[in-house]
Structures are given as structure tokens and as C-alpha cells.
Structure 1
């Protein structure tokens, strides 16, 4: 990458930081804010709103990760909000209707089209194209779960596996081979 004429990179705009924040409070965000901090020397005064769903254990682990993130990025404050799945979805829908979606939100891949079509979330294509957010190591089919109309609006944060358990004795008693 060529050296800027004055030896300093321009300070990223709040919009750019928030666009990157939309990918989630993840390695991508951590790397991006680190780059912004190194480039401009200043991330002070940035407040991100981060909202997700989950149980109390997940909330405690997420809060711990957020505090570590803030420690690594002095001047960046993350305000968090979470709830159970149903109340989270209701609150997010209300925020979207009022134009106040948090900067970083958790969405199920089935909700991305709803929020993208309503312009409640921003496309990430620019920050992916300029390699601020790097997706080259992500599985392309998995990455596609965050697209809407050919544009990338979200990045996957994990995969869920559906399974079931059964009592083999009950199956055997019922004459079902296991």
C-alpha cells in the first residue's frame, strides 16, 4: 500500500466505523478498530450500541468479551442490550420502525432480507472490497447467508447444528431398531 503524502492516513468517518461495526463485535470489528486507531491515533468518543439475544450465561460471556474489546480499544465504548429471542426481535423491530437500530445487531440469516430491504442495516461491500473487513478465509456458501440481492449485509458468526437425543431402551421396547 503506498504511503500517504503526509505520512498519515485520514481519520475514518463515523459512518465508516459504523459500517464496519455492522459486521458484529467480532475479529473483523476488532481488527478494523485497531486499524482505525493506528491510522488516526484517535478512536476517542466512539460509542457503539450492540444488541443480541441469548440466555444469562451467553449474556455474561458476551459482556466479558465486550469489556475486553473496550480495554483493547481505549476511547471506544460499547453500550449493550440483550434479551430472550422473542423480546429481542420485538424490540429490534420497534427500533427499526423508529429508525434507531443499534450499530451492531445479531440477526438470524432469515431476517437479513427484512432489515436490508427496509434500509435498517447497511451493506458491507465497500469495507469488504477495500479489505478493511477480510472475508477471504470464510466459506463462500456460509458467507452467502449474509447477502440480500447480491450484496453483503451481514457476516456469519457461527453455525448451529440441529440434533436430537433418544432413549435407545424406549426405541428397543417399541421394536424400533437403533
Structure 2
């Protein structure tokens, strides 16, 4: 390839930008393979990436703010965003994947990484992780592993959800049931639930 003319800068390649975008935007997924052939936007002065996620208005506002910070730090990259509620988002993403073109950067639940990576919709991130384009050294190894498929990194986690359990201690004592403890099996949960159900049957109020 010929060198660019003096005084002109070559537009950044999409493939070179996608990995950094995945980390810089703090999203849960890599870019789609279908997006990697284009070199820049119509003006030829940079790259425009598409980025989508699900969530409510508060999440949308916070994510948009993060996108603007990313653009400020990367002035030759523009990010076109879209978001929707979870059901609508996943339906649209599946349709886009079937048509061969999901957004450059997209959010997925970790349980869906294998589906989209196995279908060839995602860009491998292993090289970008190894050369520190995406910095993961401070991430928990098991947490980071949620973005892998067949031992290859395809996604970077953006957060972790925690499921909580609230219970009525007086009701548990009245039913003669032990308080919940970490490490309980589903069998133990079921037994305690049966005790409380029997108490409810005897004293519905």
C-alpha cells in the first residue's frame, strides 16, 4: 500500500478501533465481524461505530455520558448509539445476527456469548487482550472468563449482577426452620419451603 500524502492522516481502520472501543465504552461484548471491512465514515476522516444496549432511561443516560467521554478521548471516532428494553433489544439483535450484521459493539448477557460467538457474529479479542489494547490485568480471572467461548476471549464484562434473598425471621422460627445459610443446596431450600408452606396451611393469616 502507498503511504498517505504528506499533511494527511490515514483514517483509522475499523478493526483497529473495535477492540479499544469494547474496553473504552465499558460494554459486555466485542464488535461484529461484519463491521470490520469498512475503513471509515463517508467523510473519510474517521470511524463511526454503532453501539447498542438494553436498559431503562437512567442506564441510557449514564451510558450515553460514557460514550461522550470516549469520543472526547478519541476525537476521530464517532459512536452511533441505540437502546431498548431487554425483550425488544434481544429480538432485534437476533434479527440483525441472522442478517449478518449486529452492531459493532453490543451488550449481551454472559450466557449468550457462546450463542453469538459460535455463530460467527463476534470478533475475537484475545490478541487485543494479550497486547494490552484491552487492559484486563486488574479483573478477576473467573469474572473475565465469562466472556470466553472455546477458550477464546470474545467479550469483556461490564458489571456483575447479584441476586438477594429476603426472609421473615419470625416466620422461619415459628415454622421451626433454620435460617438460610451460604452454600445451601436446592434440596435444603425445598425442605424449608415445605415447612413454611405447611405452617401457612395451618395458619393462613
SS of 1:74's partner is coil
SS of 2:161's partner is coil
TM-score in terms of structure 1 length: 0.75
1:150 equivalent in structure 2: 151
1:71 equivalent in structure 2: 72
Aligned residue pairs total 154
TM-score in terms of structure 2 length: 0.66
1:122-137 alignment runs, 5 A limit? 122-137=123-138
Distance in 2 between residues matched to 1:176 and 1:85, nearest whole Å: 37
Moved more, 66-75 or 112-121: 66-75
Relative distance call for 1:153 and 1:141 in structure 2 (3 A) is: same
**What's the Cα RMSD here?**
2.4
1:27-176 alignment runs, 5 A limit? 44-168=45-169, 171=172
Distance in 1 between residues matched to 2:152 and 2:104, nearest whole Å: 19
Name structure 2 gaps, 5 residues minimum: 1-9, 28-43, 180-205
Relative distance call for 1:177 and 1:136 in structure 2 (3 A) is: closer
Tell me whether 1:20 sits opposite 2:20 in the alignment: yes
Name structure 1 gaps, 5 residues minimum: 1-9, 28-42
Query: Are the equivalent residues in 1 in contact too, given 2:114–2:149 (CA < 8 A)?
Result: yes
Q: Deviations over 1:33-88 (max 9, x none)?
A: xxxxxxxxxx9421111111111111111112212222332232111111111111
Compare CA radii of gyration and give the structure with the larger one: 2
Relative distance call for 1:79 and 1:11 in structure 2 (3 A) is: closer
